[in-house]
Chains A and B, each alone.
Chain A
Amino acid sequence: MLSRTAENLFWIARAMERAENTGRLLEVGARISLLPSIHGYRSEWDSLLQASGTAEGFDRKYDAAVARNIESYMFFDGDNPSSVVSLFNQARENARIVRTALTTQVWDALNMAFQELKQLERRPRSELELTEMTDWVTRTAALVRGSINATLLRNDGFDFLNLGYALERADATARLIDVKYYVLLPRVEFVGSGLDNYQWMTLLRALSLHRAFHWSYAGDITARKIADFLILNPQNPRSLITSIESANWALDRLAKSYGRDMDVQHHARMLLARLTATTVEDIFDEGMHDFVTRFIDDTAHLSHCVWENYLTGDVR
């Protein structure tokens, strides 16, 4: 497959995963805004902007981190490369470039999303409920993902899409943990307080995992359980270990169909092995922030290896 085609597929997946992520962050934000500001209204929005990597761009454009501004910036703003509109446009344009590598169903899903977003943009903002917008993102992202899974040929293109989804998801979960890592730190004065519970639930909600958590863990919510759930639990679809497992799955398939292992397979397997051997205690001993920072670097390095091994077309 042409390297550029693979690259486009990889970025379609990353854009779709990131759009879904932005949508979910917005949803959490909307929830926060329903609560009394005593719980740190501004700092919560801030952490959401930081988790999506857009805090700097936002500050340049807006004074106040109020709901309306953040909604506009994270959903509609074409200047924000991580806004829902930017990401859907990017995914659709990438898809147009590699139109022939996609099925009609996948193209239809992306193309329809593009047309529907145009209509959303035309509606007066005052008539547009945030929940309608975030529901739309979740639904559309699922439609695209579903069309890929149901209709696409299981060839290398499929693997590059899955690789994009997996690496983006790994990165997104890690960044969210990193932005909120202090919440998970054991601090005597907060333990058992309402603030703790609330912060933790926010974190889980940002990953759409607040109900799944209770199904997986009995008893009280503790920082340890949450860390285990988000990082090491292979049942959690967004945990770091699950994301790296998915990346490995796609990479192994690529190695098999191309008949050779590259650096990237080696690094991915090492990373998975390390995660598998890690315990929550190890993480708290190392320090959550250091652990997550290292993980983000490792994931970025994997992306770089994908690029070097497959997307430059230079490897002999």
Chain B
Amino acid sequence: MTTCFNEMFDADAVRQPYARLESWTKAMPDALRHMKQAEAEALFRRIGITFAVYGEGGDPDRLIPFDMFPRVFTAREWGRLERGIKQRARALNAFLVDVYGRGEIVRAGRIPADLVYRNAAFEKSVVGFIPPKGVYSHIVGIDLVRTGPDDFFVLEDNCRTPSGVSYMLENREIMMRMFPDLFRENRIEPVDNYPALLRRTLASVAPAKCDKEPTIVLLTPGHYNSAYYEHSFLADMMGVELVEGQDLFVEGEYVWMRTTEGPRRVDVIYRRIDDSHIDPLCFRPDSMLGVPGLMDVYRSGGVNICSCPGAGVADDKAVYTFVPEMIRFYLGEEPILNNVPTWQCSKADDLKYVLENLHELVVKEVHGSGGYGMLVGPKSTKDQIERFRARIESKPSNYIAQPTLALSTTPTFVDEGVAPRHVDLRPYCLVGDRIELVPGGLTRVALTEGSLVVNSSQGGGVKDTWVLAE
């Protein structure tokens, strides 16, 4: 692969945002670094920031590796990202309201009807329904990669229930605790108002029938879920109840939660369970996680569900290709952030190209996530490529392909000292009556040398992400 953009070093010169970090690393002897790393790990364990893995034996509580070397953006760099992210979040929501309404974008021929209406994530039960404030996706996680000083690409959108924001908050918390001097020397924008903003956003989309301060809850699949820590953390930080399906029931026109003082009406549900589990009467009858009758209450305006059922049709990897079109169509603007060029294996021409160039492409399942079910051509053996080829040929429409991007690197602590490792970025955009974005996000880092896969399930770690004040 060609040389990658290094966010700290331009040849031998240190790029401006990292200027003060060079002396910081130089002044840190190995022994101190190891001590600090151990301290960070102890803090994570102590606070209980783990993700749970059941059924594999051993301690179910695992830590995501934390890298102490921060990733830094200047105010100018962030300003452009912020505009691009908010623009995208607006367009995605406009798209959702449209496709569950009149479907103008389809009628205008800007996106194929099949791709929308026959999409597995298209939710027929909400056709014709406009959620409060016209917002379907209240938390939009946009995965970005960088290839040059000004070159950012959107890798994918997450309109349903993007996770990881607790790491953004806790990474910062732990960095501030361990290296207060760094924060005195650098002027770093704070991120700790995220829970308050999230709460505000959720309250701002309370249903019309709610005539008082809305009662908000966070709906989790339960304590066996790998993201349970994040659910309980966010509920705690927002000061809202963390509920499971069994805690809620429908009676009359409302949803209620079971409390020690009797039923209490619930107005806004921030759900961290999939669409298909929300309501067994509407979706999967075998689901134990949801609330029977919830969808009826939702459609009659008795409760809001964030993100709304059906929001997933906007973050499908095949629909992704059309997001720049959405921005032009609904906002009349040019996209500030670019998509990665993408080949749709469902199209004959694209499929032909993909199959001929597998060795240099990244191929993904349309509905896949978590770094599973993907092929990184340049990093794969002939055998792996051939096996993947057979899978694509058997069901082409299930795959998309993208060029293997030269992901940027940032300095990362490794056994031998500091070395460049590939990173991506997931900021969390909040959409309610306003659009908010805290200056930061989750930087994921591929800890293995040369690896491009940053997912925690595949050996990735996380970093604190800084945006410097003007």
Taking beta carbons and an 8 Å cutoff, which residues of A are in contact with B? Answer: 1-6, 93, 96-97, 99-100, 104, 107-108, 111, 156, 160, 254, 258, 310-316
Chain A residues with CB below 8 A from B259, complex form: 1-3, 313
Question: Complex formed: what's the CA distance from A48 to B246 in Å?
Answer: 38
Q: Quote the shortest CB–CB distance from A147 to chain B (angstroms).
A: 15
Q: A residues within 8 A CB of B258? A: 2-4, 312-314
Report the bound CA distance from A5 to B257 in whole Å: 12
Are A107's CB and B48's CB within 8 A?
A: yes
For A314, the chain B residues whose CB sits under 8 A away are: 258, 262-263
- Within the assembled complex, what's the spacing in Å between the Cα atoms of A111 and B246? 26
Output the nearest chain A residue to B223 by Cβ-Cβ distance: A97
State which residues 262-279 of B face A: CB under 8 Å. Answer: 262-263
Measured between beta carbons, the chain A residues less than 8 angstroms from B46 are 104, 108
Contacting residues, chain B, for A3 (C-beta < 8 A): 247, 258-260
B140 within 8 A of partner (CB): no
- Offer 30 A-B interface pairs, CB within 8 angstroms, sorted by A: A1-B259, A1-B260, A1-B261, A2-B241, A2-B259, A2-B260, A3-B247, A4-B244, A4-B258, A93-B223, A96-B223, A96-B228, A97-B223, A99-B48, A99-B232, A100-B232, A100-B242, A104-B46, A156-B260, A310-B260, A311-B260, A313-B257, A313-B258, A313-B259, A313-B260, A314-B258, A314-B263, A315-B262, A316-B262, A316-B263
CA distance A97 to B225 in the complex (A): 11
B235 CB within 8 Å of chain A: yes
Interchain CA distance A1-B240 in the complex, whole Å: 11
Report the separation of the CA atoms of residues A286 and B246 in the bound assembly, to the nearest whole angstrom. Answer: 45
Nearest CB in chain A: distance from B44 CB, A: 13
Residues of A near B262 (CB, < 8 A) are 313-316
User: A104: nearest residue on chain B (CB-CB)?
Assistant: B46
**Interface residue B243 (Cβ < 8 Å from any Cβ of A):** yes
Number of interface residues of B (CB under 8 A): 20
Chain B proximity of A305: nearest CB distance (Å): 13
Residue pair B236, A100 in contact (C-beta under 8 Å): yes
Residues of A within 8 A of B246 (CB): 4
The CA-CA distance from A128 to B259 in the complex, in Å, is 45
Could you tell me the distance between the alpha carbons of A273 and B264 in the complex, rounded to whole angstroms?
35
Picked from B48, B235, B236, B247, the residue with its CB within 8 Å of the CB of A4 is B247
Chain B residue nearest to A108 (CB atoms) is: B46
**Neighbouring B residues of A96 by C-beta, 8 Å:** 48, 223, 228
CA distance A171 to B454 in the complex (A): 54
A22 to B243, CA, bound (A): 33
B residues less than 8 Å from A160 (CB atoms)? 260
Contact B263 A313, beta carbon cutoff 8 Å: yes
Q: Which residues of B sit under 8 angstroms from A254, Cβ to Cβ?
A: 260
Tell me the bound Cα distance from A156 to B259 in angstroms: 11
Complexed CA–CA distance, A4 and B219 (Å): 13
CA distance A156 to B262 in the complex (A): 14
Given contacts A3-B260, A4-B258, A315-B262, 14 further A-B contacts (CB under 8 A): A2-B241, A2-B242, A2-B257, A2-B258, A2-B259, A4-B247, A96-B48, A99-B48, A100-B242, A156-B260, A310-B260, A313-B258, A313-B262, A314-B263
Of all chain A residues, the one with the shortest Cβ separation from B48 is A99
In the complex, residue of chain A having the shortest beta-carbon distance to the beta carbon of B47: A104
- Minimum CB–CB distance for A48 against chain B, Å: 33
Residue ID in chain A nearest B45 by CB atoms: A111
- Distance in angstroms from A261 CB to nearest chain B CB is 13
> Is the pair A100, B260 in contact by a Cβ cutoff of 8 Å?
no
- The interface bits of chain B over 224-254 (1 if a CB of A lies within 8 angstroms of the residue's CB, else 0) are 0000100010011000011110110000000
A2 near B247 (CB under 8 angstroms)?
A: yes
CA–CA, A190 and B302, complex, Å: 73
Q: Which chain A residues border B244 with CB–CB below 8 Å?
A: 4
| Cα A224 to Cα B258 with chains together (Å) | 47
Q: How far is the CB of B470 from chain A (nearest CB, A)?
A: 37
Q: A310 — which chain B residues lie within 8 A by C-beta?
A: 260
Listed residue (B228, B235, B236, B262) with the most chain A CB atoms within 10 angstroms of its CB: B262
- Tell me the minimal C-beta distance from B416 to chain A in angstroms: 32
- A313 vs B251: C-alpha distance when bound (angstroms): 13
In B42-84, the 8 Å CB interface with A consists of: 46, 48
The reply to whether A258 and B242 contact each other, CB–CB distance below 8 Å, is: no
Chain B residues with CB under 8 Å of A311's CB are 260
Whether A258 contacts B261 in the complex (CB less than 8 A), given A96-B223, A99-B48, comes out as: yes
Q: How far is the CA of A113 from the CA of B236 in the complex (A)?
A: 24
Alpha-carbon separation in the docked complex, A160 to B259 (Å): 13
What's the least CB distance linking B233 to chain A, in Å? 8
Min C-beta distance of B449 to chain A, whole Å: 33
Q: How far is the CA of A107 from the CA of B232 in the complex (A)?
A: 14
- The CA-CA distance from A97 to B244 in the complex, in Å, is 11
Most chain B CB neighbours (cut-off 10 Å) among A111, A258, A312, A313: A313
B residues less than 8 Å from A111 (CB atoms): 48
A66 to B55, CA, bound (A): 34
Chain B residue nearest to A8 in the complex (CB): B223
Complex: chain B residue closest to A159, CB-CB = B260
**Residue of B whose beta carbon sits closest to that of A111:** B48
> CA A312 – CA B228 in complex, angstroms?
23
Bound-state Cα–Cα, A247 to B433, Å: 49
A99 to B262, CA, bound (A): 22
A99 cross-chain contacts in B, Cβ below 8 A? 48, 232
CB neighbours (8 Å) of B257 from chain A are: 2, 313
A100 touches B223 (CB 8 A): no
CB of A6 within 8 A of CB of B260, answer: yes
Residue of B nearest to A7 (CB): B260
Most chain B CB within 10 A, of A1, A6, A93, A99, is at: A99
Look across to chain A and name the residue whose beta carbon is closest to the beta carbon of B258.
Answer: A313
